[in-house]
Amino acid sequence: MSWSLIPHLLVAGITNGSIYALIALGYCLIQNATGLVNFAQGEFVMLGAMIVIWLHNGLQIPIPIAFPISILLVAAVGMALEQGPIRRSKNRDILTLVMITIGASISLRGASMMLWGKGARIFPSIGGDSPYIFLDAAVLPQSLWIMGFSVLVLALLYFFFHRTLVGKAMRAVSDNRFGAALIGISANRLTALAFAVSGSLGALAGILVTPITSMSYDGGLMLGLKGFSAAILGGYGSVPGAVLGGIVLGLMESLGAGLISSAYKDAIAFLLLLAILFVRPAGLFGNVHVRRL
Protein backbone atom coordinates (compact mmCIF):
# COMPACT_ATOMS: atom_id res chain seq x y z
CA MET A 1 0.00 0.00 0.00
CA SER A 2 1.51 3.32 -1.13
CA TRP A 3 0.98 6.25 1.23
CA SER A 4 0.70 8.47 -1.84
CA LEU A 5 -2.86 7.17 -2.20
CA ILE A 6 -3.93 8.68 1.12
CA PRO A 7 -4.84 12.13 -0.35
CA HIS A 8 -6.97 10.41 -3.03
CA LEU A 9 -8.72 8.32 -0.39
CA LEU A 10 -9.40 11.37 1.74
CA VAL A 11 -10.95 13.25 -1.18
CA ALA A 12 -13.10 10.24 -2.06
CA GLY A 13 -14.12 9.83 1.57
CA ILE A 14 -15.14 13.47 1.98
CA THR A 15 -17.05 13.36 -1.33
CA ASN A 16 -19.00 10.24 -0.36
CA GLY A 17 -19.41 11.54 3.18
CA SER A 18 -20.99 14.75 1.90
CA ILE A 19 -23.61 12.69 0.05
CA TYR A 20 -24.28 10.58 3.15
CA ALA A 21 -24.62 13.79 5.17
CA LEU A 22 -27.30 15.19 2.84
CA ILE A 23 -29.26 11.94 3.09
CA ALA A 24 -28.80 11.83 6.88
CA LEU A 25 -30.15 15.38 7.17
CA GLY A 26 -33.36 14.19 5.52
CA TYR A 27 -33.71 11.43 8.11
CA CYS A 28 -33.12 13.92 10.92
CA LEU A 29 -35.78 16.34 9.69
CA ILE A 30 -38.43 13.60 9.65
CA GLN A 31 -37.30 12.28 13.02
CA ASN A 32 -37.49 15.71 14.64
CA ALA A 33 -40.88 16.49 13.10
CA THR A 34 -42.65 13.17 13.68
CA GLY A 35 -40.41 10.74 15.58
CA LEU A 36 -40.49 8.41 12.55
CA VAL A 37 -37.76 6.69 10.59
CA ASN A 38 -38.57 7.35 6.94
CA PHE A 39 -37.29 4.30 5.09
CA ALA A 40 -38.37 5.85 1.78
CA GLN A 41 -35.52 8.37 2.02
CA GLY A 42 -33.30 6.25 -0.22
CA GLU A 43 -36.00 6.25 -2.89
CA PHE A 44 -36.08 10.06 -2.76
CA VAL A 45 -32.38 9.91 -3.65
CA MET A 46 -33.05 7.56 -6.56
CA LEU A 47 -36.03 9.57 -7.84
CA GLY A 48 -34.07 12.82 -7.88
CA ALA A 49 -31.44 11.29 -10.14
CA MET A 50 -33.80 9.31 -12.38
CA ILE A 51 -36.05 12.30 -13.02
CA VAL A 52 -33.06 14.41 -14.11
CA ILE A 53 -31.90 11.57 -16.37
CA TRP A 54 -35.39 11.33 -17.89
CA LEU A 55 -35.67 15.10 -18.37
CA HIS A 56 -32.16 15.54 -19.77
CA ASN A 57 -31.59 12.36 -21.79
CA GLY A 58 -35.22 11.78 -22.80
CA LEU A 59 -36.74 15.23 -23.17
CA GLN A 60 -33.48 17.08 -23.95
CA ILE A 61 -34.02 19.60 -21.16
CA PRO A 62 -30.75 21.26 -20.05
CA ILE A 63 -29.31 20.13 -16.71
CA PRO A 64 -29.62 23.58 -15.04
CA ILE A 65 -33.39 23.47 -15.71
CA ALA A 66 -33.88 19.75 -15.01
CA PHE A 67 -32.05 20.09 -11.67
CA PRO A 68 -34.63 22.30 -9.84
CA ILE A 69 -37.58 20.60 -11.56
CA SER A 70 -36.47 17.25 -10.19
CA ILE A 71 -35.99 18.62 -6.66
CA LEU A 72 -39.47 20.17 -6.69
CA LEU A 73 -41.08 16.97 -8.00
CA VAL A 74 -39.44 14.80 -5.34
CA ALA A 75 -40.41 17.36 -2.68
CA ALA A 76 -44.00 16.91 -3.88
CA VAL A 77 -43.63 13.13 -3.59
CA GLY A 78 -42.39 13.53 -0.01
CA MET A 79 -45.31 15.79 0.88
CA ALA A 80 -47.77 13.38 -0.77
CA LEU A 81 -46.37 10.52 1.32
CA GLU A 82 -47.04 12.47 4.52
CA GLN A 83 -50.43 13.87 3.55
CA GLY A 84 -51.62 10.58 2.09
CA PRO A 85 -50.95 7.23 3.79
CA ILE A 86 -49.11 8.52 6.86
CA ARG A 87 -51.57 11.24 7.89
CA ARG A 88 -54.65 9.20 6.99
CA SER A 89 -53.55 6.02 8.73
CA LYS A 90 -56.13 5.03 11.35
CA ASN A 91 -53.46 3.31 13.41
CA ARG A 92 -51.08 5.98 14.74
CA ASP A 93 -48.68 3.49 16.29
CA ILE A 94 -45.07 4.33 15.37
CA LEU A 95 -44.37 0.83 14.10
CA THR A 96 -47.36 1.00 11.76
CA LEU A 97 -46.25 4.36 10.36
CA VAL A 98 -42.70 3.09 9.85
CA MET A 99 -44.11 0.09 7.96
CA ILE A 100 -46.00 2.55 5.74
CA THR A 101 -42.70 4.21 4.79
CA ILE A 102 -41.24 0.76 4.00
CA GLY A 103 -44.26 0.04 1.78
CA ALA A 104 -43.79 3.42 0.07
CA SER A 105 -40.13 2.56 -0.51
CA ILE A 106 -41.00 -0.75 -2.19
CA SER A 107 -43.73 0.89 -4.27
CA LEU A 108 -41.51 3.72 -5.50
CA ARG A 109 -38.76 1.25 -6.39
CA GLY A 110 -41.18 -0.95 -8.32
CA ALA A 111 -42.73 1.99 -10.15
CA SER A 112 -39.28 3.26 -11.11
CA MET A 113 -38.31 -0.15 -12.49
CA MET A 114 -41.45 -0.18 -14.65
CA LEU A 115 -40.88 3.37 -15.89
CA TRP A 116 -37.12 3.37 -16.50
CA GLY A 117 -36.08 -0.28 -16.56
CA LYS A 118 -33.37 -2.08 -14.61
CA GLY A 119 -30.29 -0.67 -16.31
CA ALA A 120 -27.96 1.85 -14.67
CA ARG A 121 -28.10 5.35 -16.13
CA ILE A 122 -25.96 8.46 -15.93
CA PHE A 123 -25.86 12.09 -17.04
CA PRO A 124 -22.95 14.49 -17.63
CA SER A 125 -21.11 15.88 -14.62
CA ILE A 126 -21.15 19.56 -13.76
CA GLY A 127 -17.92 21.25 -14.82
CA GLY A 128 -16.57 18.46 -17.00
CA ASP A 129 -14.37 15.46 -16.23
CA SER A 130 -10.91 17.05 -16.14
CA PRO A 131 -9.61 16.77 -12.56
CA TYR A 132 -7.82 19.43 -10.53
CA ILE A 133 -4.62 18.43 -8.74
CA PHE A 134 -4.55 19.40 -5.07
CA LEU A 135 -1.89 18.04 -2.67
CA ASP A 136 -1.16 15.21 -5.13
CA ALA A 137 -4.84 14.24 -5.20
CA ALA A 138 -6.97 14.35 -8.34
CA VAL A 139 -10.19 16.19 -7.48
CA LEU A 140 -13.04 15.99 -9.96
CA PRO A 141 -15.13 19.15 -10.48
CA GLN A 142 -18.21 17.10 -9.50
CA SER A 143 -16.60 16.40 -6.10
CA LEU A 144 -16.17 20.13 -5.55
CA TRP A 145 -19.83 20.69 -6.44
CA ILE A 146 -20.87 18.00 -3.97
CA MET A 147 -18.82 19.53 -1.16
CA GLY A 148 -19.95 23.05 -2.04
CA PHE A 149 -23.64 22.14 -2.11
CA SER A 150 -23.31 20.28 1.19
CA VAL A 151 -21.82 23.33 2.90
CA LEU A 152 -24.46 25.59 1.32
CA VAL A 153 -27.33 23.33 2.44
CA LEU A 154 -25.98 23.20 5.98
CA ALA A 155 -25.72 27.00 6.10
CA LEU A 156 -29.23 27.44 4.69
CA LEU A 157 -30.68 24.96 7.18
CA TYR A 158 -28.98 26.75 10.06
CA PHE A 159 -30.37 30.09 8.86
CA PHE A 160 -33.82 28.56 8.34
CA PHE A 161 -34.07 26.97 11.78
CA HIS A 162 -32.54 29.84 13.76
CA ARG A 163 -33.53 32.99 11.84
CA THR A 164 -37.00 32.36 10.35
CA LEU A 165 -40.38 32.06 12.06
CA VAL A 166 -41.25 28.88 10.18
CA GLY A 167 -37.95 27.29 11.15
CA LYS A 168 -38.41 28.23 14.79
CA ALA A 169 -41.94 26.85 14.65
CA MET A 170 -40.57 23.54 13.32
CA ARG A 171 -38.11 23.42 16.21
CA ALA A 172 -40.97 24.07 18.61
CA VAL A 173 -42.99 21.19 17.11
CA SER A 174 -39.94 18.95 17.37
CA ASP A 175 -39.43 19.83 21.02
CA ASN A 176 -43.08 19.67 22.13
CA ARG A 177 -45.75 18.96 19.53
CA PHE A 178 -48.65 19.36 21.98
CA GLY A 179 -47.29 22.59 23.45
CA ALA A 180 -46.71 24.02 19.97
CA ALA A 181 -50.33 23.27 19.04
CA LEU A 182 -51.54 25.10 22.15
CA ILE A 183 -49.92 28.34 21.01
CA GLY A 184 -51.41 28.11 17.51
CA ILE A 185 -48.68 26.36 15.52
CA SER A 186 -50.05 24.00 12.85
CA ALA A 187 -48.07 20.84 13.43
CA ASN A 188 -49.60 19.09 10.42
CA ARG A 189 -48.48 21.76 7.98
CA LEU A 190 -44.97 21.82 9.38
CA THR A 191 -44.78 18.03 9.26
CA ALA A 192 -45.73 18.13 5.57
CA LEU A 193 -43.05 20.79 5.04
CA ALA A 194 -40.48 18.58 6.79
CA PHE A 195 -41.28 15.71 4.40
CA ALA A 196 -40.99 18.08 1.43
CA VAL A 197 -37.60 19.39 2.57
CA SER A 198 -36.48 15.82 3.28
CA GLY A 199 -37.46 14.82 -0.25
CA SER A 200 -35.56 17.81 -1.64
CA LEU A 201 -32.40 16.87 0.25
CA GLY A 202 -32.64 13.28 -0.95
CA ALA A 203 -33.15 14.40 -4.55
CA LEU A 204 -30.19 16.78 -4.31
CA ALA A 205 -27.95 13.97 -3.04
CA GLY A 206 -29.03 11.67 -5.87
CA ILE A 207 -28.48 14.31 -8.53
CA LEU A 208 -25.02 15.17 -7.26
CA VAL A 209 -23.73 11.61 -6.89
CA THR A 210 -25.07 10.16 -10.17
CA PRO A 211 -22.43 11.62 -12.56
CA ILE A 212 -19.81 9.80 -10.48
CA THR A 213 -21.50 6.47 -9.69
CA SER A 214 -24.54 6.22 -12.06
CA MET A 215 -28.05 5.40 -10.79
CA SER A 216 -30.60 2.62 -11.24
CA TYR A 217 -34.08 1.88 -9.90
CA ASP A 218 -32.59 0.21 -6.80
CA GLY A 219 -29.62 2.53 -6.41
CA GLY A 220 -31.19 4.43 -3.52
CA LEU A 221 -31.41 1.35 -1.32
CA MET A 222 -27.76 1.23 -0.21
CA LEU A 223 -27.40 5.02 -0.24
CA GLY A 224 -30.43 5.33 2.03
CA LEU A 225 -29.01 2.70 4.38
CA LYS A 226 -25.67 4.50 4.60
CA GLY A 227 -27.38 7.84 5.16
CA PHE A 228 -29.37 6.24 7.97
CA SER A 229 -26.15 4.85 9.43
CA ALA A 230 -24.56 8.30 9.24
CA ALA A 231 -27.54 9.81 11.08
CA ILE A 232 -27.25 7.19 13.83
CA LEU A 233 -23.49 7.63 14.05
CA GLY A 234 -23.81 11.38 14.52
CA GLY A 235 -26.70 11.11 16.98
CA TYR A 236 -30.12 10.51 15.47
CA GLY A 237 -32.01 13.79 15.18
CA SER A 238 -28.93 16.00 15.46
CA VAL A 239 -28.25 18.18 12.40
CA PRO A 240 -24.54 18.75 13.18
CA GLY A 241 -24.29 15.07 14.05
CA ALA A 242 -25.76 14.08 10.68
CA VAL A 243 -23.10 16.08 8.86
CA LEU A 244 -20.23 14.82 11.00
CA GLY A 245 -21.57 11.27 10.90
CA GLY A 246 -21.74 11.36 7.11
CA ILE A 247 -18.16 12.62 6.78
CA VAL A 248 -16.82 10.09 9.30
CA LEU A 249 -18.65 7.22 7.62
CA GLY A 250 -17.40 8.29 4.18
CA LEU A 251 -13.82 8.48 5.40
CA MET A 252 -14.04 5.10 7.16
CA GLU A 253 -15.43 3.54 4.00
CA SER A 254 -12.82 5.07 1.70
CA LEU A 255 -9.81 4.37 3.93
CA GLY A 256 -11.04 0.86 4.64
CA ALA A 257 -11.37 0.14 0.92
CA GLY A 258 -7.96 1.60 0.11
CA LEU A 259 -5.94 0.29 3.05
CA ILE A 260 -7.57 -3.13 3.47
CA SER A 261 -9.73 -4.28 0.55
CA SER A 262 -12.43 -2.77 -1.63
CA ALA A 263 -14.27 -6.10 -1.49
CA TYR A 264 -15.05 -5.41 2.17
CA LYS A 265 -15.74 -1.70 1.79
CA ASP A 266 -19.31 -1.76 3.06
CA ALA A 267 -18.59 -4.34 5.76
CA ILE A 268 -15.65 -2.33 7.12
CA ALA A 269 -17.69 0.85 7.37
CA PHE A 270 -20.59 -0.81 9.16
CA LEU A 271 -18.34 -2.78 11.53
CA LEU A 272 -16.55 0.42 12.55
CA LEU A 273 -19.94 2.08 12.96
CA LEU A 274 -21.02 -0.70 15.33
CA ALA A 275 -17.77 -0.37 17.27
CA ILE A 276 -18.27 3.37 17.78
CA LEU A 277 -21.88 2.92 18.81
CA PHE A 278 -20.82 0.20 21.26
CA VAL A 279 -18.67 2.81 23.02
CA ARG A 280 -21.19 5.65 22.66
CA PRO A 281 -24.70 4.31 21.88
CA ALA A 282 -26.22 7.81 21.54
CA GLY A 283 -23.86 8.69 18.70
CA LEU A 284 -21.32 11.48 18.50
CA PHE A 285 -23.80 14.32 19.14
CA GLY A 286 -26.71 12.40 20.63
CA ASN A 287 -28.05 13.01 24.11
CA VAL A 288 -27.87 10.17 26.58
CA HIS A 289 -31.21 9.71 28.34
CA VAL A 290 -31.07 8.32 31.85
CA ARG A 291 -34.08 6.65 33.42
CA ARG A 292 -34.51 5.93 37.11
CA LEU A 293 -35.99 2.57 37.94
CATH number, position 34 = 1.10.3470
Q: What is the mean pLDDT of residues 156-182?
A: 85
Q: Is pLDDT of 134 > 70?
A: yes
For a pLDDT cut of 70, what percent of the chain falls above it?
Answer: 96
**Is-contact 81 101, C-beta < 8 A?**
yes
Residue 91, domain member (yes or no) = yes
Q: What is the pLDDT of residue 290?
A: 43
- 130: buried, middle or exposed (CB in 10 Å: 19+, 13-18, 0-12)? exposed
Q: What is the mean pLDDT of residues 128-156?
A: 85
Nearest CA to 220 out of 73, 103, 109 is that of 109
HSE, side-chain direction, 13 A CA sphere, residue 130: 1
Domain total of the chain: 1
Distance CA 64, CA 56 (A): 10
Q: Is pLDDT of 74 > 60?
A: yes
Residue 293, domain member (yes or no) = no
Residue 289, domain member (yes or no) = no
Q: How does residue 293 score in pLDDT terms, banded at 50, 70 and 90?
A: very low
Residue 63, domain member (yes or no) = yes
Q: Is pLDDT of 100 > 90?
A: yes
Judge if pTM exceeds 0.85: yes
**Is-contact 40 27, C-beta < 8 A?**
no
Residue 238, domain member (yes or no) = yes
Residue 287, domain member (yes or no) = no
Q: How far is CA 286 from CA 174, 237, 244, 245, 254, in A?
A: 15, 8, 12, 11, 25
Domain that holds residue 143: 3-279
Q: Is pLDDT of 3 > 70?
A: no
Q: What is the pLDDT of residue 124?
A: 86
Distance CA 233, CA 260 (A): 22
Nearest CA to 53 out of 206, 227, 202, 224 is that of 206
Q: What is the pLDDT of residue 286?
A: 65
Q: What is the pLDDT of residue 2?
A: 56
Average pLDDT taken over every residue of the chain: 87
Distance CA 216, CA 212 (A): 13
Q: How does residue 291 score in pLDDT terms, banded at 50, 70 and 90?
A: very low
Residue 62, domain member (yes or no) = yes
Residue 290, domain member (yes or no) = no
Q: Is pLDDT of 30 > 50?
A: yes
Poorest-confidence range of 9-18, 72-81, 178-187, 242-251? 178-187
Q: What is the pLDDT of residue 292?
A: 43
Q: How far is CA 199 from CA 61, 76, 164, 268, in A?
A: 22, 8, 21, 29
Helix (H, G, I), strand (E, B) or coil at 164: coil
Distance CA 139, CA 129 (A): 10
Q: Which helix (H) or strand (E) holds 134?
A: strand 132-134
Q: What is the mean pLDDT of residues 70-81?
A: 95
Nearest CA to 196 out of 66, 106, 86 is that of 86
Q: What is the pLDDT of residue 281?
A: 75
